[in-house]
Amino acid sequence: QSVLTQPPSVSGAPGQRVTISCTGSSSNIGAGHYVHWYQQLPGTAPKLLIYAYTNRPSGVPDRFSGSQSGTTASLAITGLQAEDEAHYYCQSYDGSLSANWVFGGGTKLTVL
Amino acid sequence: QVQLQQSGPRLVKASQTLSLTCDISGDSVSSSSAAWHWIRQSPSRGLEWLGRTYFRSGWFDNYALSVKSRITINPDTARNQFSLQLTSVTPEDTAVYYCARDLDLGFDSWGQGTLVTVSS
């Protein structure tokens, strides 16, 4: 069971908007530790998609955006494209656990 | 553009030691702004952080409690690389292992991943 909770799957049609939630607790997201998001395509390493809640690394389309409120962070993807079909993971730091860098269980995005 | 290249055996026998190396290009293992991590991924455990090494006027490391008694991460400044050693492995340690760079703003660079299978 992951420290950060994500829905196992979401889906949307091309052009639609989807959101993926990441729920933590007072020792990680609620403590103000940054949340980062990764996209993982089959057979490849995760790729940093959003860092520090809302920032996109160079080269990431502005269709991807992040937000945070309380102990929950969210990833939004607008104008869905077939190439967005992938697994998405949130990640943060937890000050109370033995494993300080923690991940969500991942969400599989299916583009219908 | 930093690149991380992993190497090491893909098959390890139970009770033996898993050893992987991550070669760094485009940055330095001795960088005072980076930390160098090992992370693994398996269907049963998902993405699991294992540990890190970093240089801040001296070498430091941190390890996940779940593997703390069995893990060592060492920097090699001469070769600009860092390594993972995990002792007394069991089939539960079968996973894809990744090295990654952290600039305090997420893991921005990852190695290609190495599937390590522990045979019983």
The distance of A57 to chain B (nearest Cα, Å) reads: 9
Among A44, A99, A105, beta carbon nearest to B66: A99
| Alpha carbon separation from A3 to A22, A45, B87 (Å, rounded) | 10, 21, 26
For B44-93, write each residue's pLDDT tens digit. 999 999 999 999 999 999 999 999 999 999 999 999 999 999 999 999 99
What is the pLDDT at residue A97?
66
B contact residues 89-108, partner A, Cβ 8 Å cutoff: 98, 105-108
Whether A64 has its CB under 8 Å from any CB of chain B: the answer is no
pLDDT at A98 over 90: no
Tokens representing B87 are 């002792």
For B6-29, write each residue's pLDDT tens digit. 999 999 999 999 999 999 999 999
Q: Which of A76, A60, A73 is nearest to A33 (CA)?
A: A73
Tokens representing B93 are 């340690």
Which contiguous run of DSSP H or E holds residue A70?
none
Count of CB atoms situated within 10 Å of the CB of B109 = 21
Instruction: Dump the DSSP string for B41-74.
Output: EETTTEEEEEEEEEESSSEEEEE-TTTTTTEEEE
What is the pLDDT at residue A99?
64
What would the mean pLDDT of A69-97 be, rounded to a whole number?
Answer: 95
For B32-46, write each residue's pLDDT tens digit. 999 999 999 999 999
pLDDT at A106 over 70: yes
Q: How far is residue B58's CA from residue B84's CA, in Å, rounded to a whole number?
A: 19
Whether B40 has its CB under 8 Å from any CB of chain A: the answer is no
What is the pLDDT at residue B39?
98
Q: How far is residue A19's CA from residue A35's CA, in Å, rounded to a whole number?
A: 15
Among A36, A97, A98, beta carbon nearest to B106: A36
Whether B43 has its CB under 8 Å from any CB of chain A: the answer is no
CB contact under 8 A, B110 and A45: yes
Q: How many CB pairs under 8 A join A and B?
A: 58
What is the pLDDT at residue A96?
81
pLDDT at A33 over 80: yes
CB contact under 8 A, B66 and A98: yes
Q: What number of helices (H) and strands (E) belong to chain B? A: 0, 11
Nearest CA in chain A to B47: A103
